[in-house]
Amino acid sequence: MQEVLDNKVKQARLEAQRVKEEVARYVTETHPMVADRLNLSSYQNEVDTAIAPLDRATAIDTAIAHQSQIETLRKALIQQVDREAEGLQQRSASEESDTVVKSIVSLSVVNVAKKSVLETPEEVEEYVDALKMALLAELEQNNRVRLM
């Protein structure tokens, strides 16, 4: 039983490390103009805080719950990064009158589909067309799109 718990704790820690790396990569790739002004260590500290209770985990379901919490935290951190970066960009844009700041909107590619399983080439075409329409609609509103 202890071996299974140790394995789940290890998996949760690996997930936490992956989230830290993913958020860091997201900051530099998505917001290169303000990446140096975003406090990356605060995002990493939030992940560390979320996994700190794992040291005291005595049940497998506790470790699994923390792993799930880390995945939820990943989404929240990416949204937080977007909000903070947008604020920094808007402040910079107010100093430079010709700069346009685009908001980032999330688009869940699964929510675009009418079906959750595609079985025919026609269904694939319908899905691709619907996805294209949804993406173009966001771009027409001068948004950037984060795929989820």
How high is the pLDDT of residue 19?
92
Q: Nearest to residue 48, comparing CAs of 80, 75, 15?
A: 15
User: Cα(9)–Cα(66) distance, rounded to whole angstroms?
Assistant: 9
Q: In the 8-state DSSP scheme, what is residue 147?
A: E
- Cβ atoms of 20 and 44 within 8 Å: the answer is yes
Name the strand (E) or helix (H) holding 6. helix 2-30
Q: If 0-12 CB within 10 Å is exposed, 13-18 middle and 19+ buried, where does residue 80 land?
A: middle
How high is the pLDDT of residue 95?
66
pLDDT by 10s per residue, the chain, length 148? 789 888 888 888 999 999 999 999 999 888 888 888 888 889 999 999 988 888 788 888 888 888 888 888 988 999 899 889 888 887 776 666 555 667 787 777 777 877 888 899 998 999 999 889 988 988 888 888 888 7
β-strand partners of 104: 144
How high is the pLDDT of residue 71?
86
